[in-house]
Amino acid sequence: MLPADLKPEQFSGYPPEARKLALDYLAVFQRLPLSFLPNLLREVIDYDYRFPAERKTLEKELETLRSLSAPELKEWFREFAGIQLSAKLERFDWINSPSQFVEQLSSHLWTTHQLDAFRKAATEYADRLHVAVQPDPPVLPRLGIAVIGQGVDTHEEPLFRKLRPQGAYFTGIQPDNGLQHLLDVVASRAKSAPLPYAHWYIDGGQALSHAQAITCVSYKNLEPARAALLTRIQAETTKAGAGPEALRTVMAQMRPADLGFDESGDRVLDHFQVKLLTEGSGTQIFSTSFAQWAAREALRRAQPLTLVVRFAPRQRQKPMNELLSPSHEPAELDPMGSLVDADMGAYYNWINQQRLPGSEKSLFLAWFENHKEAVAISPSMPRGTVSTSAATLPELLSWMA
Amino acid sequence: MNHARQIAQQLAFTRREFLRNATGVALGSALLRPGAFAHAATPSSKRKVVVITFGGGARDQETFAPEGQENIPHLMRELIPQSAFFAQVVNRGILGHYVATASLATGVYETINNFASLPPESPTVFEYFRKDFRRPASDAWVVAPSNGFNRIGESSHRGFGPGSGARVILPKYLLSAATSGSADYGHLLRDSYETPLSAPELGGSTFELEQMERILKLSVADFRSHARTLSSPDELSVYIVRQLMRQLAPSLLWVTMHDIDIAHAGAYSLYIEGIRRTDRLCAELWKAIQSEPEYAGKTNLFILPDFGRDSDDDPGGNGFQHHRTGDALSRTTWMMALGPGVREGVVFDHRVETIDFVPTLGALMGFSPSFSPGKPIAELL
């Protein structure tokens, strides 16, 4: 089936708000090429479980598409229209399973050597949209904080090598009560800009006590969900005919209740957490991968004003079949390896923060937990400089502002 | 010139400059014209070739860029000064490890399912080699990391196919059989990092334990015992390669490394460990080649990744973790050639493609890879 043949009743399987949105924009959908539309429906079908920032972005995109004249629409989607699809893809139930369609589309693009053409089409579309839809600047300059090295006393390799050129490197930080100071800063910002899902704390281990206004995700808290997921994966992989594609389909269809989430919980956050575990690679087994991916997805999707990510030691690398088996034995940890992982993760947090609106005013702090080393990046911090002066974390944050 | 091509050229340029600064190698295109190499006296029929895919994909910033060179001390200090280095090897095919390795081995951008147990559709280098030289099956071998690679030795192409290609050894599969999945060896037995949660069924003929005893003269007990001393699947592969070299001395030997692909799990430290280990193992194999009488002085070694990994700058990816975006960084790699007839310490930064590799081997060894659209690399002829 092609988009021009879409009918309202075909969206009956969508959640309530998504269905309403789809019907509002049905006429727009009918004008779009099949190589593009399922990517958009992937966002629409999850509308009920999206963060406010995502909803707003999607609504603006749909409104922009509706405003285009026929010649403009043709121009915008000329590259997409040139992508050749297979009859199998056209027959696929892309309305109800847009994510699975996109996965198959990706495979088709690789196989038919059309990936570069698709990348070009997608890039041009994003550029046009960026011009047409100006993003709202954040109400506060964004603040990202990465805390790395939990459990490490000494280390030999220099830290923050990728971040140092972007800001000032401090070697005299007074670490006392550092974590509490940082969480107090998040709480204070949450109080001054009380927007939903705008202030986050992600912990790769056990979360510390924090203000209620802060959205919190922790690896420890998701332990039951991770165990449930791994049990489910084991069951799926032993089924006859099981393969990577079938397993990905099963994981893509998982809902919070499948992993033991309480149905009375925050459904938006619960869906987010399920996706961290079912879509992330390594997030089920390594806490450092979990913390980095959770930060990336929180920044990309929720566009928080404040994000603190505290990395924790991951388990030592074990054989995958052992890692995938829930065990009551305490996992042996690898603090030094985790420090290296987290150092890179902090760099990725900064990169992902800089992709958001208002990046020219954004602030970023990376700190070696309970130690004297930190990097501060902000418009007021001279790049590539080093300071050996003694300073507390609150002082450092005040200099960054 | 399109953007991807510009980035690929820039990558090649920076690689060349890094290498010149770090090792003092010369820029080939300024010094040499195609065909300027005087080949060593080894006749084509006696020549041996060993290919190592620097597997799992590694990026410049963790290898040949200044900040990455600490991870590849053996390549930098020992191998590059002895090699001709091609700084811009572009893979325009599918960036999955099995299908990309199949493309390297056929000289055709294969489009088979990366995760299924399928043979390449075009004839492999092993089939060309054996057919044109009428060589026995014992003269072409592949040592590969996971079940999915079991079909890489021979194609489904009419006129070639079953029995006409290379024998394939999957050391992890053998170890798994030898230990009946014992936990002692579990850390070596992960099938694949691209799809760690499931492994494809083995297809085609499988090299089994009893053949290991008969062909490699390696008892199961010795195999198990040696495996206890190893830390990774690639170390196990190199151990098997050395057995092959001693017992059969095949003329065409292909080793696919894979430890680096642990990057898919998102742990940067494990990715770096994989690069350092692969660097060490490449040097060990080159030393083995020089110390084995059947190989010394008549063997060319080629080291090349199947592809790179995603850049930090592409918002569609997640940096080093995957190779999914198809960006220029993930498509642009390098190749090192060592051995008789190869001009040492020279860097070539013009563009070649991964599908040029098999035609180059064909021109060097004297067989005709007639179904490959690639072109022989003139500087190696």
Query: Above 80 in pLDDT, residue B179?
Result: no
The pLDDT of residue B210 is 85
For residue A311, give both structure tokens.
């990395």
Q: Are B266 and A286 inside 8 Å of each other by CB?
A: yes
The pLDDT of residue A319 is 43
DSSP state of A133: S
Collapse the DSSP code of A201 into the 3-class scheme (helix H, G, I; strand E, B; otherwise coil) and give the result. Answer: strand
CA distance A391 to A370: 13
Q: Are B198 and A293 inside 8 Å of each other by CB?
A: no
Domain ranges of chain A: 3-132, 143-400
The pLDDT of residue A69 is 97
Our measurement of the distance from residue A124's CA atom to the centroid of its chain's CA atoms, rounded to an integer in Å, reads 23
The pLDDT of residue A320 is 37
| Chain A closest-CA separation from residue B53 CA (Å) | 21
B263: which residues sit within 8 A by CB, 6+ positions away? Answer: B56, B57, B193, B270, B271, B274, B309, B320, B321, B322
pLDDT tens-digit readout, B138-149: 999 999 988 778
Residues of chain A short of pLDDT 70, as ranges, are: 241-243, 318-328
Q: Cβ of B262 under 8 Å from any chain A Cβ?
A: yes
Q: Cβ of B307 under 8 Å from any chain A Cβ?
A: no
Chain A residues with CB-CB distance to B264 below 8 A: 281-282
Q: Given A111, A314, A355, which is nearest B315 (Cβ)?
A: A355
| Chain B closest-CA separation from residue A11 CA (Å) | 28
Query: Above 90 in pLDDT, residue B44?
Result: no
The per-residue pLDDT of chain A, averaged, comes to 93
Q: Find which of A297, A320, A347, A355 to mutate to test the B interface (most B CBs within 10 Å of its CB).
A: A320
Helices (H), A223-309: 223-237, 244-252, 267-279, 287-297
Q: Of A178, A143, A146, which Cα lies nearest the Cα of A366?
A: A146
pTM of the model: 0.91
Q: Cβ of A338 under 8 Å from any chain B Cβ?
A: yes
Residues A372 and A172 sit within 8 Å (Cβ to Cβ): yes
Q: Please report how many Cα atoms fall inside a 13 Å half-sphere around the Cα of residue B334, on the Cβ side.
A: 27
| Chain A closest-CA separation from residue B118 CA (Å) | 14
CA distance A269 to A274: 9
Beta-sheet strands, E only, within chain B: 26-27, 48-53, 83-90, 140-143, 167-169, 252-256, 299-304, 332-338, 346-348, 352-353
Domains in chain B, start-ordered, CATH in brackets?
A: 3-28+50-380 (3.40.720.10)
Nearest CA in chain A to B96: A110
Q: Cβ of A322 under 8 Å from any chain B Cβ?
A: yes
Q: Which amino acid is at A281?
A: S
Q: Are B190 and A321 inside 8 Å of each other by CB?
A: yes
Q: Work out the pLDDT band at B37, boundaries 50, 70, 90.
A: very low
Residues 261-320 of A with CB under 8 A from B: 280-283, 285-286, 288-289, 292-293, 296, 314, 317-320
CA distance A338 to A153: 13
Average pLDDT value for residue range B52-56: 89
The per-residue pLDDT of chain B, averaged, comes to 87
The pLDDT of residue A326 is 53
Other Cβ atoms within 10 Å of B148 Cβ, number: 29
The class (CATH top level) of A143-400 is alpha beta
The pLDDT of residue A253 is 85
Q: Are B186 and A321 inside 8 Å of each other by CB?
A: yes
Percent of chain B with pLDDT over 90: 62
